[in-house]
Amino acid sequence: MLKKTLAALVLGASVLASQAMAADYVIDTKGQHAFVNFKISHLGYSWLYGTFRDFSGTFSFDEQNPEASKVAVTIQTKSVDTNHAERDKHLRSDDFLSVDKHPTATFESTSVKSTGEGTADITGNLTLNGVTKPVVIKARLLGEGQDPWGGYRAGFEGSTTLQLKDFGIDKDLGPASQSIELILSVEGVRQ
């Protein structure tokens, strides 16, 4: 009887411990449930929107301990798409992304700080155009739960503003176009 009680306690404790640990997720790019978008002012008159079509990443998330969460994303810079072939060719050039020299951009988190219920500041190192700088992504949990295919998913959105010159992009686009907003929407499948 004592053996069964101890076994039940140990089993119960291990189940609780596993539920309290961060879960690992792969960002669902195959199902087109994730986006890395950006917007930049065009002469101060309108917004130019774009996206990166090819990227991959992972994250770990623990709702009970958000500070234990981590994010890592790799973007194929040649996949930039603004729905305008000539502009995309120019963005891939040495004036902007230098995709031949720097075919990937990466983000790897260094810390996560909860800022409220379902919100957090994700600090990490962004490497873009061969330059690595710390950035802070303002993130929000969109939701989590079972999917119709027997898996478990969690989704987040976040944004950060980058100064182009900080990443060695010196092309002068005018005073209204010195910064770019990076907008992320990711849905991950728990592993």
The domain that holds 171 is classified in CATH as 2.40.128.110
| Residue 134 placed within a domain | yes
* CB-based burial, 130-157: b 16+ in 10 Å, e otherwise: eeeeebebebebeebeeeeeeeebbbbb
pLDDT of residue 12: 43
| Residue 110 placed within a domain | yes
For residue 91, what are the domain limits? 22-190
d(CA 87, CA 95): 11
Q: How many domains does the chain have?
A: 1
Which residues of the chain, if any, have pLDDT below 50? 2-19
User: Which phi and psi (to 5°) does residue 177 adopt?
Assistant: -125, 40
pTM exceeds 0.75 = yes
pLDDT of residue 172: 86
- Please name the residue ranges forming H helices in 111-172: none
| Residue 13 placed within a domain | no
pLDDT of residue 41: 96
Beta strands in 43-130 (DSSP E): 46-52, 55-61, 70-76, 80-81, 104-116, 119-128
Q: Helix (H, G, I), strand (E, B), or coil: what is residue 11?
A: helix
| Residue 8 placed within a domain | no
pLDDT of residue 32: 87
- Please name the residue ranges forming H helices in the chain: 2-20, 85-92
Place of tokens 């303002």: 138
| Residue 1 placed within a domain | no
Looking only at Cα atoms, what is the longest distance across the chain? 78
| Residue 125 placed within a domain | yes
CB 34 within 8 A of CB 186: yes
User: Which phi and psi (to 5°) does residue 7 adopt?
Assistant: -60, -40
